[in-house]
Amino acid sequence: MIIDEARQVLEVEAQSILDLIPKMDSAFEMLVEHILEPDTRIVITGIGKSGLIGKKIVATLISTGTHAIFLHPVEALHGDLGMVQKRDVVIAISNSGETDELNQLLPFIRQIGCTLAGFTGNPKSTMAGLCDLVIDTGVKKEACPFNMAPTCSTTAQLAMGDALAVVLISKKQFDKSDFIKSHPGGALG
């Protein structure tokens, strides 16, 4: 019974990733093109579980040759917004797209004039309306029996971040020797 339940969770989460494939559109391509512009840095913001996913995406981007930082939405509203520059591409992450702290921040980011993208499960959300580019990371359901705990939605966000990082590896011609330089410890690969 335990193994069956665990397998069912993995099946639901795997399907949530597969369901992203037909959602890939020109917004993703435009996001990559903006990131590839000279002197561009990625700023990722999110709160709660989406914020944790954002931090992991930043770590992957940094370790694979893309300049990225994480910006906590509340800290941004209390001074850290000063780290955001016009040349940055900001990616906001929220499954609902209705996270108050994030939606309070985004108009200020828009005033700076940087490209603003959103990873959201709700392309008609307030957050999506504030973004230049919307990447649909929506899932049919969460793996949790109450359909509440962020499981499939965070898996989808993370997978989309991985897709972005790997495409950037290719486009920037980041190679194995570059990867080794940024990983002097550990036994990767």
Question: What is the DSSP code string of 69-118?
Answer: EEE-HHHHHTTGGGG--TT-EEEEEESSS--HHHHHHHHHHHHHT-EEEE
125-130: Cβ within 8 A, 24+ apart = 125/94, 125/96, 125/97, 125/98, 126/97, 126/98, 127/92, 127/94, 127/97, 127/98, 127/99, 127/102, 127/103, 128/97, 130/103, 130/106
State the pLDDT at residue 189.
58
Answering whether pTM is above 0.75, one says yes
State the pLDDT at residue 132.
99
Examine residue 185 and state whether it is found in any structural domain, yes or no. no
Examine residue 140 and state whether it is found in any structural domain, yes or no. yes
Residue 72 burial class via C-beta count within 10 angstroms: exposed 0-12, middle 13-18, buried 19 and up: middle
Examine residue 85 and state whether it is found in any structural domain, yes or no. yes
Measured CA to CA in angstroms, residue 98 lies from 65, 94, 95, 162 at distances of 32, 7, 8, 24
Examine residue 138 and state whether it is found in any structural domain, yes or no. yes
- Token readout for 57 is 């995406």
Considering its fold, how many domains does the chain have in total? 1
Examine residue 182 and state whether it is found in any structural domain, yes or no. no
Give every residue of the chain whose pLDDT is below 70, as ranges: 187-189
Examine residue 77 and state whether it is found in any structural domain, yes or no. yes
- Residues of 93-113 as b/e, b for ≥16 C-beta within 10 angstroms? bbbebebebbbebbeebeeee
Examine residue 181 and state whether it is found in any structural domain, yes or no. no
State the pLDDT at residue 187.
67
State the pLDDT at residue 62.
97
The pLDDT tens digits of the residues spanning 154-185 come to: 999 999 999 999 999 999 999 988 888 888 87
Q: The CATH number of the domain where 6 resides is what?
A: 3.40.50.10490
Residue 134 near residue 122, CB atoms below 8 Å: no
Q: What are phi and psi of 64, to 5 degrees?
A: -120, 25
- Token readout for 45 is 């913001």
Strand, helix or coil at 184? coil
